[in-house]
Amino acid sequence: MTGQREWHLIKRLLPRGHEVHVVTWDAIRTPSALVHSVTSGVERDGSFVIHRAARLPNPVGRITRDYARGFRPNEWLFQRQVRKILAEERFDLLAYGLSHKAVGLPPFDVSVPRVFDYLDLCVYPEVEAAYLRHSDLVLCTSGVLADRVRGLGGRPEYLPNGVDRERIASGRSEVVRRKLDLVGKKVVSLIGLTYSRSLFFIDAMAEAARAVPDIVFLAVGAGGLLPHEGLGPFEARCRERGIHFVEQAKRGRVDL
């Protein structure tokens, strides 16, 4: 979580005297993680509180590949957890992102302002409409998303991802190039891989490679948390289009 957009927001709110509560859940990737995922818990560090919601595996999604609202029992568990937290203390707002694939939609029938952090295009029209219709404010990471939200009747506010200039300045690109065998290559990188099922950016790289033959696609991230959202489709499309594919890291800190 420490490299994600919401964590940077939290780091700026806490020193200003705000109390921040985060509702999260465990990804179920192994049988041993199942027992832990179905139990809820709370961890508190001063004014920073993490609530772990219970979450069940999604057998229906694994068969149908339909993750539009995740597994409906998980949505019920998630909404119940959020309502319980809101009832126990006084809050100023409820902020949420695109969690629909894992735990469904958040509870919209709450008495506090609702802020939707629209990180990447939601490819399910009905789900997108629900987020936009029930949110008092929509934070958009790009001008394209802001225009889209405005056109659909939402209330957008452009809030791009920030840049940690100190970390960038401390990087040693020549070391990374040697490590990944990228010396002399033209590197095109996608950091924070999209959940979109369209791989248009790889097709675009294939077109560019006609003029610049030594292009390499450097993938930083993992694509998604769901079983079918790994890097396999990225690598397969690169191989199909003749693009050299390099995976830097799946999750966690990446030194570039």
For the chain (length 256 residues), average pLDDT per consecutive 10? 75 93 82 76 93 86 80 92 94 94 94 94 93 97 94 95 77 83 82 65 86 80 57 80 70 43
Token pair, residue 204, equals: 């675009």
Q: How many angstroms separate the CA atoms of 181 and 149, rounded? A: 41
Per-residue pLDDT, 156: 97
5-158: which CATH number, 3.20.20.150, 3.40.50.2000, 2.60.120.330, 2.40.170.20? 3.40.50.2000
State the DSSP H helix or E strand holding residue 188, giving kind and residue range, or none if neither. strand 186-191
Per-residue pLDDT, 214: 83
Q: How many angstroms separate the CA atoms of 146 and 162, rounded? A: 17
Whole-structure pTM over 0.95, yes or no?
A: no
Q: How many angstroms separate the CA atoms of 89 and 213, rounded? A: 59
Name the segment(s) of the chain with CATH classification 3.40.50.2000: 5-158, 169-248
Cβ density class 129-159: b for 16+ within 10 Å, e for less = ebbbeebebbbbbbeebbebbeeeebebeeb
Per-residue pLDDT, 256: 43
Per-residue pLDDT, 146: 96
Per-residue pLDDT, 3: 54
For domain 169-248, give the fold. Rossmann fold (3.40.50)
Per-residue pLDDT, 218: 79
Residue with tokens 């993938």: 219
Q: How many angstroms separate the CA atoms of 137 and 74, rounded? A: 25
